[in-house]
Structure 1
Amino acid sequence: MSKTYTQEYQEKLINASQAAQMINSGDYILYGGMLGRPIDFDVELAKRKEELHDVYIYMSTTLLPPVRTAASDPSHEHFTCNNFYFSAIDRRMADHNLMYYLPSHLSEAQTMLERPENPNYTCVVQVCPMDNEGFFSFGPANVYSYTGCLGADRVILEVNENMPRVPGGSEDAIHISQIDYIIEGSNSPLFELPPTAEPSDIDMTMAKLILNEIEDRACLQLGIGTLPDLLGELICDSDLKDLGIHTEMFCNSMVPLFTKGLVTNRYKTFDRNKIGFTFCLGTRETYDFIEDNPLMASHPSSYSNDPRIISLNDKVVSINNILTVDLFSQVCSESIGFRQISGTGGQLDFVEGARYSKGGKSFLCLTSTYTDKEGKMHSRIVPTLEPGSIVTTPRASVDYLVSEYGLAKVKGEATWKRAELIIELAHPQFRDELIKEAERMRIWRRSNKIE
């Protein structure tokens, strides 16, 4: 007689301490990304620090609670933690030499895991409880979870009853027959994004500039932060119709876009009638919205972030924040000098996807200045990027740049014209100096005009 799924579940059930005991010195471990990171397993593994040496752990965008294995070992003698994309917590850990960054586009996360030269590894992912058919949903953290499990020599699932189950899409769940062990975790509450900062007049100006560029039936990708949230509110109050969503992150601002009827997905030319995404971060209300919601299509990032897939929808509008841009239109969105702030992520994926989309547009947004701890104002628009700064989006790919001083389409323009358009986005206090630098760099014509 064949075993039932319940029987198989009981046979594979262990506790977090037993799972951590399976790890040996020199092992490689892959954690699920974002809300898929195991909590209890990591705590128990950290307790074994003195027993283990040279254990390499890979993950993406860790949230609260912090990674115990990383925090326990600043020497990296026992655990070396590597991260595909830094959260604010990861950034602070890296500042204290507790975390390393691994450069990659989000679209290629699966490709990174499928390299033939990769060592054997254990995959540990936080998942939803098993359903009646023996499947564990990856819920709000699809990303690379299924590929990570398939390539592993040992698969351990940590069940959390607070994870919202998300049906539909692709590679959104794994069957009990494909895994080795199950941990019933302590059901830690899922991390919730704190409220975004109150929008400023600058945020409002930038949001309105972008809103004017969005057409009916556009397919949206919004990032995280005050500006995307504000833009979502403005769209809700607009007369736009029949919008679609294809994004990497499903976030709070997208819920009212659907519930208020602005997003219908009716005219998407791919994944029609669905919101395509690869992970979700938001409030508990947002997690409840996606749970068992047939509207949602959870895909791996190799699908959600593939520019070829993105471009299959018409009128793709991609909106992302950046840190700085230079007069060549090279964009840095992930570092301040040598300090890693976030990561490459999916920015270039969606910039390129929008470029190939019929009627597509991509907007890279920044406030023109920032103020340091001493109260001195600095320009985010600079002659050349600071040494050590990483080019996240190369100049040949940049479409629109946006600051509180305007919106500039630089795609297709020569270097002298780009310099003029970009300087117009700078704070007036810095424009004269930027013009002098542009002349020195031989990207300024005598006929250039700055209004």
Structure 2
Amino acid sequence: MIREEYQKKCVSADEAVKVVRSGDWVEFGWAASMPTLLDEALARRKDELHDVNMRGGVILTPIACVESDPTGEHFTWNSWHLGGRERKWAQKGLAYYIPLKYSEMPRWIRENLQTDVVAIQVAPMDEHGYFSFGVSISHYAAAIEKARNVIVEVNEDMPKVHGGYDHMVHISKVDYVVEGGHRGLPILPSAPASDIDRQIASYVLPEIHDGACIQLGIGGMPNALGQMIAESDLKDLGIHTEMLVDGFVDMVNAGKVTGKCKNLDRGRIVYSFAAGTQKLYDFMRDNPSLAGYPVDYSNMPFIASQIDRFVSINSALEIDLTGQVCSESAGSSMISGAGGQLDFVEAAYHSKGGKSFICLPSTYKDKEGNIHSRIKGTMTLGSVITDTRPTVQYVVTEYGKVNLKGLSTWQRAEALISIAHPDFREELIEEAKKLKIWRKKA
């Protein structure tokens, strides 16, 4: 019966996307899970569709719908989290960011958002009629609940994953199945770690102890730290994270991860989506040590904070002298998004024995080659505050780490200036004086 239902719903990509109407909102893939055949078929319908709003995020591959429509008359991309391509689209007025606290996304979809069609990539159906969401669990189940039509594109290379809940969809909830064959998965190479990344990671590593549970963001510094953990004497670590990346595989293969000390999901690696190299995707395939969850479980501060010794490590673009953190924009130009950073900053601090780290190089170089401090008197005009100043705990640069919790404004300024690049410290002191947050000492 299940196989018969599957065959009845199996159609071409061109046939499946006929359900999309002008004015629809289409939930359309996430990160390494993008329905490329459906994308191409929808792009072929461009001239007969108007004002179709696509939602997705962390795009790793081209999107034909957007790139075939330079006027934005037919398709508009609405991003939950900007990747490199999406930044370029946003500059052309073809993409727009959805300000997001990632843990809340499934609730937003269920309670607030119009979702007409879901078009996602999945693993092949099992003998019980279930399609695994594979590398992107995130918010798919919530979107399917709301949608008028559900289309799944089957990728033979998508790993079937083990989960907690809402990590799969049954054939009975699917309207159309498009068989995609072996399409591979996008490769996201690990960002190379610089000497500065390794120096920053060296300040964080001593704060991690046996039995801790780790959340890592993405980038060179988290990769450096993951490598250091793999080479360290640490043991019995746990993993509870938003994004599963190659660094975690290295930690597991080095024998550092058992998860036996976790209060929740003991012995299992919790994540909501994954992107990396083939090594990661092979590791995920039918691996019972993994527990893929929707993001309102993996990122929910109330849940993650119940795990003892929860350690959160994330990066930032700039921080002001009062401790406000921007991790998503350069002035008013969006770079990425808020993602789950604030979720984990709050969760780690409220965990028994937990710690939250915001890590950033002390300087950056602009297009003209000029060097600027990432620690500033006040935020660059238009910069978005990702983490409010009361929420921030440890801040780390290559010049050291400071704990801002409980510090007054003058103490915060003093602490942050102490880990700024030496070339900018006097300038920052003058800024602090102007802002009336520099205390004269006898």
Q: What TM bracket, shorter-length normalisation?
A: over 0.9
Which range moved further: 163-172 or 179-188?
A: 179-188
Q: Aligned pair count?
A: 442
TM-superposed deviation, 1:281: 0.7
| Residue in structure 2 matched with residue 393 of structure 1 by the alignment | 387
Alignment-mate amino acid for residue 22 of structure 1: V
Please give the residue correspondences for 1:46-445 in structure 2 after superposition, counting only pairs within 5 Å: 46-64=43-61, 66-115=62-111, 117-197=112-192, 199-445=193-439
Q: Structure 2: how far apart are the matches of 1:212 and 1:411?
A: 19
Q: Secondary structure at the match of 1:56?
A: strand
Residue 447 (structure 1) shift: 2.3
1:222-266 Cα offsets, whole Å, 9 max, x none, are 111111111111112211111100000111011121122111100
Q: What CA distance in whole angstroms lies between the structure 2 residues aligned with 1:45 and 1:88? A: 22
SS state at 1:253 partner: helix
CA distance in 2, matches of 1:99, 1:373: 24
Partners of 1:80 and 1:125 in 2: CA distance: 18
Matched with 1:30 is: 27
8 Å Cα contact 1:33-1:144 kept in structure 2 = no
Paired amino acid for 2:85: I
Change (3 A) 1:238 1:38: same
How much has 1:187 moved relative to structure 2? 3.4
Task: Give how far 1:32 is off.
Answer: 2.6
The structural deviation recorded for 1:201 is 2.3
Give the drift of 1:60. 1.7
Which stretch shows the higher mean deviation, 393-402 or 51-60?
51-60
Could you say what the CA RMSD is over the residues aligned between the two structures, in angstroms? 1.2
Contact 2:121 / 2:154 at 8 angstroms: preserved in 1? Answer: yes
Structure 1 position 93, deviation (Å): 2.1
- SS for the counterpart of 1:378 is strand
CA deviations over 1:34-64 (Å, ceiling 9, x no partner)? 2232111111111111111111111121111
Question: Retained in 2: the 8 A contact 1:28–1:119?
Answer: yes
Normalised TM-score (structure 1): 0.96
Answer whether contact 2:190 2:276 (CA < 8 A) is retained.
no
> Distance between the aligned counterparts of 2:348 and 2:406, measured in 1?
15
Q: Does the CA-based 8 Å contact 2:80-2:98 persist in structure 1?
A: yes
User: What are the ranges of 5 or more consecutive residues in structure 1 without an aligned counterpart?
Assistant: none
**SS of match in other structure, 1:206:** helix
Gaps of 5+ in 2: none
Letter in 1 for 2:396: V
Q: Distance in 1 between matches of 2:298 and 2:334?
A: 25
How far apart, in 2, do the equivalents of 1:120 and 1:280 lie?
A: 24
Residue 205 of structure 1: how far off its partner (Å): 1.2
Displacement of 1:120 in angstroms is: 4.9
> How has the CA–CA distance of structure 1 residues 120 and 192 changed in structure 2, closer, same or farther, with 3 Å as cutoff?
closer
Question: 2:66 aligns to what SS in structure 1?
Answer: helix
Q: Post-superposition shift, 1:145? A: 0.8
CA distance in 1 between counterparts of 2:102 and 2:34 reads 17
Say whether the 8 Å CA contact 2:27–2:115 is kept in structure 1: no
For residues 368 and 256 of structure 1, the distance between their equivalents in structure 2, rounded to whole angstroms, comes to 28
Query: Counterpart of 2:19 in 1: which secondary structure?
Result: coil
User: Aligned partners of 1:404, 1:218: CA distance in 2, in Å?
Assistant: 23
Give the counterpart letter for 1:159 in structure 2.
V
Identity of aligned residues (%): 47
Contact kept? 1:74, 1:97, Cα under 8 Å? no
CA drift of 1:186 comes to 4.8
The one-character-per-residue Cα deviations of 1:112-162 (angstroms, maximum 9, x if unpaired) are 1012x5335111110000001100000110000111111111111111111
The alpha carbon displacement at 1:90 in A equals 1.5
Structure 2: distance between partners of 1:200 and 1:290: 28
Q: For residues 337-381 of structure 1, what are the alpha-carbon distances to aligned partners after superposition, in whole Å with 9 as ceiling and x for unaligned?
A: 111000010000000100110011010011011112222111111
Q: Is this contact kept in 1: 2:321–2:413, CA < 8 A? A: yes
What residue is the counterpart of 1:19 in the other structure?
A: 16
Alignment-mate amino acid for residue 177 of structure 1: S
Letter in 2 for 1:178: K
Q: Secondary structure at the match of 2:14?
A: helix
Distance 1:118 1:230, change over 3 A: closer
Q: Which segment drifts farther, 225-234 or 133-142? A: 225-234
| Segment drifting more, 248-257 vs 66-75 | 66-75
Q: Tell me how far apart the structure 2 counterparts of residues 72 and 378 of structure 1 sit (CA, whole Å).
A: 38
Residues 1:5 and 2:2 are matched in the alignment:
yes
